[in-house]
Amino acid sequence: MLQRLHIRNYAIIEELSISFSPQLNIITGETGAGKSILMGALNLILGQRADSNVLQDKEQKCIVEAVFALQDSGRLQQFFKENDLDFSEEILVRREIAVNGKSRGFVNDTPVNLSQLKELSLLLVDLHQQFDTLELGNENFQREVLDALANNSAQLAILKENYSKYIATKNELEELHRKQLAANKELDYNQFLFEELETLSLKQNELEELEAELKLLNNSENIKQQLGAIYFEIKDSDEPIVQQLKVLQHKLNSLQQYHPSVESLCGRMNSSILELQDVAEELEQIDSNIQFDAQRIQKANDRLSEGYKLLKKHGVNETSQLLEIQQVLQQKLDDVLNASATIEALEKETATLYGICESIAGKISAARSAQVKSFTDKVNKLLVQVGMPNAQLKVLIQPAKLSVTGMDEIGFLFDANKSNRFEPLHKVASGGELSRLMLSIKSLVAKKLQLPTLIFDEIDTGISGEAARQVGIIMKELSAGHQLIVISHQPQIAAKASAHYFVYKAIVKDKIATSIRLLDNDERITAIAKMLSGEKPTAAALENAREMVSN
Distance CA 100, CA 53 (A): 10
pLDDT digits (tens, 9 = 90+) for 355-385: 999 999 999 999 999 999 999 999 999 998 8
Q: What is the pLDDT of residue 366?
A: 96
**Which band of pLDDT confidence, cut at 50, 70 and 90, is reported for residue 502?**
very high
**Which band of pLDDT confidence, cut at 50, 70 and 90, is reported for residue 131?**
very low
Percentage of the chain lying above the pLDDT 90 cut: 30
pLDDT digits (tens, 9 = 90+) for 89-107: 889 999 998 888 888 999 9
pLDDT digits (tens, 9 = 90+) for 223-243: 877 877 887 788 777 788 888
Q: What is the pLDDT of residue 130?
A: 43
Going by C-alpha positions, the residue among 196, 197, 171, 182 that lies closest to residue 332 is 182
Q: Where are the beta strands (DSSP E) in 70-124?
A: 90-97, 103-107, 110-112
How is 237-270 classified by DSSP, letter by letter? SSS-HHHHHHHHHHHHHTTTTT-TTHHHHHHHHH
Q: What is the mean pLDDT of the chain?
A: 86
Distance CA 118, CA 416 (A): 34
pLDDT digits (tens, 9 = 90+) for 435-483: 788 888 888 887 676 677 888 877 777 777 888 888 899 999 889 888 8
CA–CA distance from 328 to each of 190, 191, 315, 322, 537 (Å)? 10, 11, 15, 10, 95
Distance CA 39, CA 458 (A): 11
- For the segment 254-281, the average pLDDT, to the nearest whole number, is 86
Interacting residues of 504 by C-beta distance below 8 A, sequence separation 6+: 29, 30, 33, 514, 515, 516, 517
Q: What is the pLDDT of residue 133?
A: 45
**Which band of pLDDT confidence, cut at 50, 70 and 90, is reported for residue 71?**
low
**Which band of pLDDT confidence, cut at 50, 70 and 90, is reported for residue 137?**
low
Instruction: Decide which of 348 and 275 is more confident.
Output: 348
With vertex at residue 413, the alpha carbon angle to CA 409 and CA 416, rounded to the nearest 5 degrees, is 175
pLDDT reading at 129 higher than 70: no
CA–CA distance from 430 to each of 133, 424, 436, 475 (Å)? 10, 12, 10, 21
- In this prediction the pTM is 0.64
| Whole-number CA gyration radius for the chain | 48
pLDDT digits (tens, 9 = 90+) for 309-325: 889 889 999 889 999 99
**Which band of pLDDT confidence, cut at 50, 70 and 90, is reported for residue 174?**
very high
The answer to whether the CB of 454 falls within 8 A of the CB of 483 is yes
pLDDT reading at 499 higher than 80: yes
